[in-house]
Structure 1
Amino acid sequence: MAKCCGSSGCKCTVTAGPGVTVDGNGSTTLPYVISADAATPTPVTAGDTPTVDTTVGGTGTAGDPYVVSSAVILDPAPPGGGTNLAKAGPDGLFVECADVRQCFTAGDGAAYDPATGEISARVSADAGNTTTLGADGGLYTPAPTAADPTAVEAADTPTVDVTVTGAGTNADPYEVSAAVILDPAPPGGGTNLIGAGPDGLFVECAGVRQCVSAGDGAAYDPATGVLSARLSTDAGNAASFGTDGGIYAPGSSGADPTAVQAADTPTVDVTVSGTGTSADPYEVSAAVILDPAPPGGGSNLAHAGPDGVYVECADVRACLSAGDGIAYDAATGEIAATPTVVEAGTGTTVTGTGTAADPYEVSATPPETACGLTGDGSTGAPLAAAVAAWPYACDADTAAGGVYCDSTGQLRSEPRGQIAFQQNQQVLDFANVTVPTPEDTEVATHSIDIVNPDACRSAFVLLEAETDADFNLPAGAGAGLGMATDEMSYLRNSGSTTILDTHIQGTKVINAGTIPPGGTLTYTLPITMGRGSAGATYNRVQSFVRAFVFVL
């Protein structure tokens, strides 16, 4: 700046950035003054993470600067399900040895003091063990002589799988390893609660709690493993929880006898008398309740006497009465059948008296038959349709028509055959159009809608189509007329003068197919010309389409 600025003013440019203001021109009398307090403070916000909770205080000015502080977040429920060993104190985070020591226990070959955290090897006291603690405090096993190496073999148990590798020499020592065997299907039929992880065997409380459930008088929370007594909610229960958390029920005394009260039902009236003392014991008695107005609206047939409840036959007999064909004596309860009366109706006769010795005999009188029926309705001459012999060479079973019955009961034959005729005419005038050269060129069409008059059967249609065209033929000119792809006729002027309005006419029979019952068929006739030459023209085309409709 000393080299840049002089008495005449500074040539350097100072530009204010965000949150900064610049005053002066850089001269010795009016130097640059850069300040930030008056500007808008730079925004600062807190950004938390899963492990740090950040807080921002202050407004970002010189008088009230931003204060950014952070607090470590300790997981209250670690994902492994245990207790978080890390703690926060006034001087920072800490994990103490006393907290960590509870995470360890001693297994085979080790001794562990959780009070001091000291781990040491535990030498087996089994006979023949050559391993001891050496003078330097380490495990010591004398090496076997080369001529007589110690034999080591694996001996599995139901709970441990032992493996031995190596030759037992200094160069290739024995290596004995063991793996705990966990029963995949315990004998009780449940799930094995012991698990094996990378850090050893484990049984967690969450696994054990599922083994316990609450029975009568107990409550159990499998989420926490808390067991407690469950008091009955029945009326009159005197048990409760005492001030010490135990079950409490006040004792009885002579002044507070057992309470007994009557509980009636819709059918029994219970009475309790006495005071419940030895001198005046409780006396409980019951009486049957008989409904004075039964729900069916009748009288109650049950009675109560000195010897109990009863219903007599005389009471029940009044409930019965005689219907059709039955005689009933309410005094004795006797039910008998009334004699059957049989009367002759139209076309029948009745004889006999209806007794076992002279039973009724009903017989039918022969019916009268008219045209088309034979027989009298008897077994020997049943009623039948009067028919003639089949006179045709074909089989009646496949070729004969049917006979039907209409809604009034009248016999009907197959629908009658029908023949219909429909036609229309078309006349088209043209202004001397040149006859096309290619054969079978369509110059007009003629359509007709053909209706099947029968609502029951399909119709067969034959068409007769007729076309007539007028031509102007100069000398040497020719023209052909046809229907669809069939050229029906051809004219040629072999003279030396023009022939005007000469015409040719063609007729054709066409199988148009079938029409469904009550349906309509639209047929379109293509009218064609061709082989036009030497200036031949046409000026009129007339056509007829005639339809013959057959329904058989």
Structure 2
Amino acid sequence: MDGTGSTANPYVISVEPPACEDVRGCFSAGDGISFDESTGVISARPSADEGNGVSFGSDGGLLVPASEVSCEDVRPCFSAGDGLTYDEATGEFGPDFSADAGNNLTTGSDGGLYVPTGAATVSAACGLTGDGSGGSPLAAAVGTWSLPCDVTANAGQVYCDANGVLRSEPRGMANFYSFSETREYANLPVPSGQDQPGDHFEFEVTNPDPCRPALAVIEREADVDFVLPANGGGAAYGHGTDEMYYVDNQGNAVSDDVHAHTTKVFALATPLAPGETRMLTFDVTLGRGKGGATYNRIQAFIRCLLISL
């Protein structure tokens, strides 16, 4: 002990630290721990029992190596309950879709469970297949396109009317119109020039289709009675500028009411628009009259076939 005990020089008690050999005997090791009194090192003590997996790792820490467990060993530990399927061979779980009628549950494009919005179960009906469920979606019952042309470019379409009823394209129409008239004349002279006016005939036709234009196929007929004096009386008639018939009397007697019936068929260049009314005309022409030839009757026919498809 140093110092005099005064304020300026207090007592100081000095204590020497104990030696390691003196204190190590105060410690001992319990279960799982080892203690070396000579060195003072305390460490973990793995058991020597057979099958112990505890050891020291490369960093000196305790190590229990991971055991090798096969999938085949583990898979029997699992099974599938309601709503799931389980394949022990692959270890794969999946959804189990009920076979009850009306089930709309299905699998979406991302693999998740999916119930289509507004999905409904329906009874089988004409023109439909499926019941609206996920496994049997509702679809139109369609036939197989068996024609050589392309269905997209050539097939008709189906439409929904104001009452929600499916409708096909309008039905095709074919309508026939006929006009005929016979006119008598007082043995008028046949003009000497070619394709001269004889008489004019006309009548109206209407396309009854409210949806589509109609192709007009026209058939015109004419018959003209000529009186041809003997020794060179001659005459001709035509459909407009198309001369159809010529006759020349080289005999010694008058030829009365000489005639021939001619026909011409053609289509109007412009179809009739839906509901359109059009005047069809026919000009019977006369010409090449000679030797005092006359005419006393003209019979005209105009027939029209309107086709809308």
On whether the aligned pair clears a TM of 0.5, the verdict is yes
Which of 412, 431, 452 pairs up with 2:186?
431
Larger Rg: 1
> In the superposition, relative to structure 1, how do residues 456 and 363 fare at CA in structure 2: closer, same or farther (>3 Å)?
closer
In the alignment, what sits opposite 1:463? 218
Q: Are the counterparts in 1 of residues 235 and 247 from structure 2 also a CA contact under 8 Å? A: yes
- Aligned counterparts of 2:184 and 2:158: Cα–Cα separation in 1: 55
| Cα shift at 1:544 | 0.8
1:94-173 correspondence runs (5 A) = none
In the alignment, what sits opposite 1:478? 234
| Cα shift at 1:466 | 0.7
Q: Are the counterparts in 2 of residues 454 and 517 from structure 1 also a CA contact under 8 Å? A: yes
Q: Are the counterparts in 1 of residues 235 and 246 from structure 2 also a CA contact under 8 Å? A: yes
Which of 378, 389, 393 pairs up with 2:144?
389
- Aligned counterparts of 1:493 and 1:430: Cα–Cα separation in 2: 21
Pairwise CA RMSD: 2.1
Structure 2 counterpart of 1:370, which letter?
A
- Say whether 1:547 aligns with 2:307: no
SS of equivalent to 2:260: strand
Structure 1 counterpart of 2:249, which letter?
N
| Cα shift at 1:494 | 0.8
TM-score computed with the length of structure 1 as normaliser:
0.34
| Cα shift at 1:365 | 6.5
> In the superposition, relative to structure 1, how do residues 378 and 482 fare at CA in structure 2: closer, same or farther (>3 Å)?
same
- Say whether 1:448 aligns with 2:203: yes
In the alignment, what sits opposite 2:245? 489
Structure 1 counterpart of 2:254, which letter?
T
- Say whether 1:530 aligns with 2:287: yes
| Cα shift at 1:380 | 3.4
The structure whose RCO (Cα within 8 Å, separation 6+) is larger is: 2
1:314-463 correspondence runs (5 A) = 366-463=121-218
| Cα shift at 1:511 | 1.3
Q: Are the counterparts in 2 of residues 348 and 363 from structure 1 also a CA contact under 8 Å? A: no
In the alignment, what sits opposite 2:32? none
Q: Are the counterparts in 2 of residues 348 and 364 from structure 1 also a CA contact under 8 Å? A: no
Q: Deviations over 1:269-303 (max 9, x none)?
A: xxxxxxxxxxxxxxxxxxxxxxxxxxxxxxxxxxx
| Cα shift at 1:369 | 2.3
Q: Are the counterparts in 1 of residues 183 and 298 from structure 2 also a CA contact under 8 Å? A: yes
Give the % identical residues: 46
Structure 2 counterpart of 1:404, which letter?
Y
Structure 1 counterpart of 2:260, which letter?
I
| Cα shift at 1:453 | 1.4
SS of equivalent to 1:465: strand
> In the superposition, relative to structure 1, how do residues 385 and 365 fare at CA in structure 2: closer, same or farther (>3 Å)?
closer
Instruction: Select the structure that is richer in strand.
Output: 2
Q: Are the counterparts in 2 of residues 512 and 523 from structure 1 also a CA contact under 8 Å? A: no
Runs in 1 of length 4+ with deviation above 4 angstroms?
362-365
SS of equivalent to 1:515: coil
> In the superposition, relative to structure 1, how do residues 515 and 364 fare at CA in structure 2: closer, same or farther (>3 Å)?
closer
- Aligned counterparts of 2:251 and 2:120: Cα–Cα separation in 1: 98
SS of equivalent to 1:442: strand
Q: Are the counterparts in 1 of residues 120 and 132 from structure 2 also a CA contact under 8 Å? A: no
| Cα shift at 1:384 | 0.8
> In the superposition, relative to structure 1, how do residues 486 and 364 fare at CA in structure 2: closer, same or farther (>3 Å)?
closer
| Cα shift at 1:439 | 0.9
SS of equivalent to 1:398: helix
Q: Deviations over 1:18-73 (max 9, x none)?
A: xxxxxxxxxxxxxxxxxxxxxxxxxxxxxxxxxxxxxxxxxxxxxxxxxxxxxxxx
| Cα shift at 1:507 | 0.8
Q: Are the counterparts in 1 of residues 120 and 133 from structure 2 also a CA contact under 8 Å? A: no
1:161-200 correspondence runs (5 A) = none
Q: Deviations over 1:60-93 (max 9, x none)?
A: xxxxxxxxxxxxxxxxxxxxxxxxxxxxxxxxxx
Q: Deviations over 1:92-123 (max 9, x none)?
A: xxxxxxxxxxxxxxxxxxxxxxxxxxxxxxxx
Q: Which runs of 5+ in 2 are unaligned?
A: 1-101, 105-116
> In the superposition, relative to structure 1, how do residues 519 and 363 fare at CA in structure 2: closer, same or farther (>3 Å)?
closer
- Aligned counterparts of 1:453 and 1:427: Cα–Cα separation in 2: 28
| Cα shift at 1:500 | 1.6
- Aligned counterparts of 1:449 and 1:467: Cα–Cα separation in 2: 18
Aligned residues: 194
- Aligned counterparts of 2:240 and 2:170: Cα–Cα separation in 1: 37
In the alignment, what sits opposite 2:258? 502
- Aligned counterparts of 1:404 and 1:419: Cα–Cα separation in 2: 23
